[in-house]
């Protein structure tokens, strides 16, 4: 796989820019990320940072030789922050106006530690010093991130050099003058640069973008909105062309000697015609994918419609089956209920019959017992009366015995224990004793 160059820089203010619409676009966040403050380094594992901490590749200030590595990093960060804040306050900049220019040079896959040192010393650092001069304040090297090679399934270190540029607070140079794209855009807005379509083009002969500057033509009776629209369009083109030239300059000074490619698509070098063809194919593929996506969505809707219909039919069938089941169950319950009533009635009748038989048998047994008792009582009574008669007969021979004999007769008359047979109550042909109530 051929290697493409990566060189980029941007300006940052003391507060996050609304134009970028993301957190982490301020002076403090980029310094925090560069010096690996935990709050701004969530994308890097702590163990990798501890093993390979950031290193100061270049600095415009020499710190004490007795300071430890971490102390030097902290001192360098404070130094950069103070320079940027001093510049912003001296120039009376707003919080969101740029007060520091920060950039990165990324080394492609396959770069070893030995190659990195050679590239830094001979190409990258000399280029940065030559381009930014005394405004270059610091270069910080990172070696705690990785490339991922999908083919070999192994990690490879991704080396990066972050550089920071801050003009002299009391000098005439401003941050926007150092940023090539913003400087060109400001000139285009002021009407000093106009880029014609046919004069701003890519030249395959020397792999460079040819840009020619001309005064902005003026037309009579042209509205202010038209002028602003033109200025906006041409200023954007001026910005892109200037930044493209920056890439050309970097390629001539660093990329080409290092064996890196000027332009790549997915890490592979292509000609401009090939890039155009690739983009055309990408647009066609995207259109096809969109069509497929729409068809899939349509089919999903159809499937959902069929599913809903089937669910509705299943629900209706379930309700119908449930109603039928309920009716059958109610009918069955009624049958069981009637059968239970019938069986209960039969059991009641049988119980009454058994109770009546038991009752009759009880009366019969009671009558038998009473009759036996009466017979025995009569026998005893007869014996006692016979004994009393004998006794009275002997007493009658005694003088004055008539009173005793009369008292005994009266007592015998009043103490009869049973009633006569004709006073018994008949019930179903069974004589019931008077001592037992029916």
Helix (H) or strand (E) segment spanning residue 262: none
What does the alpha-carbon distance between residue 75 and residue 59 come to, in Å, rounded to a whole number? 11
Model pLDDT, residue 40: 80
Model pLDDT, residue 426: 44
Topology (CATH) of 1-176? BirA Bifunctional Protein; domain 2 (3.30.930)
What does the alpha-carbon distance between residue 438 and residue 420 come to, in Å, rounded to a whole number? 19
Cα-based angle 39, 41, 45 (whole degrees, multiple of 5): 120
Q: Compute mean pLDDT per 10 residues along the chain, 438 residues long, and list them.
A: 79 74 74 84 71 86 65 88 90 88 90 89 93 92 74 69 91 87 81 46 39 48 50 77 90 89 65 69 85 90 90 90 88 90 90 89 88 86 81 77 77 62 45 48
Cα-based angle 432, 433, 438 (whole degrees, multiple of 5): 55
Q: What predicted TM-score, i.e. pTM, was given to this entire model?
A: 0.53
Gyration radius from the chain CA atoms? 61
Model pLDDT, residue 24: 64
Model pLDDT, residue 140: 92
Model pLDDT, residue 422: 42
Model pLDDT, residue 105: 93
Model pLDDT, residue 200: 43
What does the alpha-carbon distance between residue 269 and residue 340 come to, in Å, rounded to a whole number? 94
Q: Is the dihedral of CA 312, 315, 319, 324 positive or negative?
A: positive
Break the chain into its structural domains and give their ranges.
1-176, 179-246+259-269, 326-432
């Amino acid at each position: 796989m051929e290697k493409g160059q990566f060189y980029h820089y941007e300006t940052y203010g003391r507060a996050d820019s609304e134009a970028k619409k993301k957190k982490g676009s301020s002076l403090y966040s980029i310094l925090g990320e560069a010096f690996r403050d935990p709050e701004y380094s969530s994308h890097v594992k702590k163990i990798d940072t501890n093993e390979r901490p950031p290193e100061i590749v270049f600095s415009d200030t020499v710190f004490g030789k007795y300071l430890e590595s971490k102390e030097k990093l902290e001192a360098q960060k404070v130094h950069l922050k103070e320079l940027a804040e001093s510049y912003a306050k001296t120039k009376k900049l707003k919080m969101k106006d740029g007060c520091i220019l920060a950039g990165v040079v990324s080394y492609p896959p396959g770069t070893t530690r030995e190659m990195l040192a050679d590239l830094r010393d001979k190409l990258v650092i000399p280029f940065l010093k030559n381009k930014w001069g005394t405004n270059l304040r610091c270069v910080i090297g990172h070696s705690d991130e990785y490339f991922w090679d999908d083919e070999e399934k192994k990690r490879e270190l991704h080396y990066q050099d972050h550089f920071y540029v801050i003009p002299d607070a009391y000098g005439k140079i401003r941050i926007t003058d150092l940023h090539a794209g913003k400087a060109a855009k400001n000139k285009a807005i002021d009407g000093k640069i106009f880029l014609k379509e046919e004069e701003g083009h890519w030249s395959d002969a020397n792999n460079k973008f040819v840009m020619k500057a001309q005064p902005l033509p003026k037309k009579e009776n042209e509205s202010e909105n038209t002028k602003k629209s033109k200025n906006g369009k041409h200023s954007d083109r001026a910005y892109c062309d200037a930044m493209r030239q920056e890439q050309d300059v970097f390629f001539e000074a660093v990329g080409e000697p290092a064996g890196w490619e000027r332009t790549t698509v997915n890490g592979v070098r292509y000609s401009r015609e090939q890039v155009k063809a690739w983009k055309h194919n990408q647009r066609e593929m995207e259109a096809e994918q969109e069509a497929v996506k729409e068809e899939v969505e349509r089919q999903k809707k159809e499937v959902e419609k069929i599913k809903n219909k089937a669910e509705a039919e299943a629900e209706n069938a379930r309700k119908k089956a449930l109603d039928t089941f309920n009716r059958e169950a109610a009918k069955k319950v009624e049958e069981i209920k009637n059968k239970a009533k019938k069986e209960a009635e039969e059991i009641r009748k049988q119980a009454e019959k058994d109770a009546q038989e038991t009752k009759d048998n009880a009366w019969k047994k009671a009558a038998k017992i009473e009759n036996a008792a009466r017979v025995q009582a009569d026998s005893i009574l007869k014996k006692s009366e016979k004994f009393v008669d004998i006794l009275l007969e002997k007493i009658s021979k005694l003088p004055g015995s008539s009173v005793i004999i009369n008292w005994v007769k009266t007592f015998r008359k009043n103490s009869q224990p049973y009633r006569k047979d004709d006073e018994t109550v008949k019930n179903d042909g069974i004589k019931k004793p008077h001592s037992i109530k029916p």
